[in-house]
Amino acid sequence: MVQEGDVGEKLFVECSTISPELVDKIAKLMIDRGAEFVSSPVFGPPQMANSGKLIFATAGAKSSIERIRPYIKDVMGRDEISFEDEPHRSASRFKLIGNAFALNAITQLSESLTLAEKSAINPAMVKRFADIMYGGIYSVYSGRMISGEYWTRSEPYASHIAMKDIKHLLGLGQEANMELKNAQIGLVYLKMAMEKSSGDQADINAIYSAVRKARTSS
């Protein structure tokens, strides 16, 4: 469409989780043809999208971001984290950093629940502690793990998509000359989980099953 159509004065918004390098390429292509472009990856599952509770990370020209801002807060999202007049890749990089929070929480919960089980402690007590002490994603993810819901969810954060995002995250770490050990461990567990199920059937919480299996083979 950009190659053939007239995109002058049109505003394009990219909300996917893609590599920072690809975001910059798309932005240049659009802007060179006279369009405006905002990189705006979002945080939140489909349920949050349906209820208008997403968190938007925006980057690009301030004037372009201001054009879409009326459609963000209290419409499609509950808040915005903005990188005004910064490179488009800033929002993409930030999205990868934000995704690391979920990956680290899932890996930590998986190991804690498994350690509790192995130590004759009811894993439900670990979930209760997570609920009382931390709440939020710790409550959501631990509930999915204990119930086994991650094998049957109708709208999973599919393992193959999670794998793609983790690899982008590790690439960002390499670019910054950093070794992201938490992400590396999560990637190992996710690969183990994907060996047991099609990547589009189990979500990232299947890391829990990989941790439980790893304990018996170690």
> Residue 47 corresponds to which tokens in the numbers above?
């349920």
Q: Are 181 and 169 in contact (CB under 8 A)?
A: no
Handedness of CA 71, 76, 78, 82 (dihedral sign): negative
Clarify whether residues 204 and 97 are in a common domain.
yes
Distance between CA atoms of residues 142 and 98, nearest Å: 19
Domain membership of residue 43 (yes or no) is: yes
**Which pLDDT score, from 0 to 100, does residue 186 have?**
95
Confidence at residue 218, expressed as pLDDT on a 0 to 100 scale: 45
The answer to whether residues 65 and 110 belong to one domain is no
Instruction: Please report how the helices 181-196 and 159-175 are oriented relative to each other, as an axis angle in degrees rounded to 10.
Output: 160
Do residues 71 and 107 both lie within one domain? no
CATH number at residue 142: 1.10.1040.10
Is residue 105 located within the same domain as residue 149? yes
For residue 1, tell me if it sits in a domain. no
The pair of structure tokens assigned to 166 is 């983790």
The predicted pLDDT at position 160 comes to 84
Structure-block tokens of residue 191: 């690969």
pLDDT of residue 205: 87
pLDDT tens, position by position, for the chain (218 residues)? 455 567 888 999 999 999 999 999 999 999 999 999 999 999 998 888 899 999 999 999 999 999 999 999 999 999 999 999 999 999 999 999 999 999 999 999 999 999 999 999 999 999 999 999 999 999 999 999 999 887 776 555 778 888 999 999 999 999 999 999 999 999 999 999 888 775 556 788 889 999 998 855 54
Distance CA 192, CA 40 (A): 32
Domain boundary among 86, 121, 136: 86
**Tell me, what's the pLDDT at 68?**
97
Tell me which of 66, 86, 106 is where a domain ends: 86
Same-domain pairing of 115 and 201:
yes
The DSSP H or E segment spanning 26 is helix 20-32
Could you say which of 86, 109, 141 is where a domain stops? 86
Residue 2 maps to a domain: no
> Do 113 and 207 share a structural domain?
yes
Q: Are residues 128 and 209 in the same domain?
A: yes
Q: What residues make up the domain containing 60?
A: 11-86
Using the 8-state DSSP alphabet, how is residue 21 labeled? H
CATH number where 33 lies:
3.40.50.720
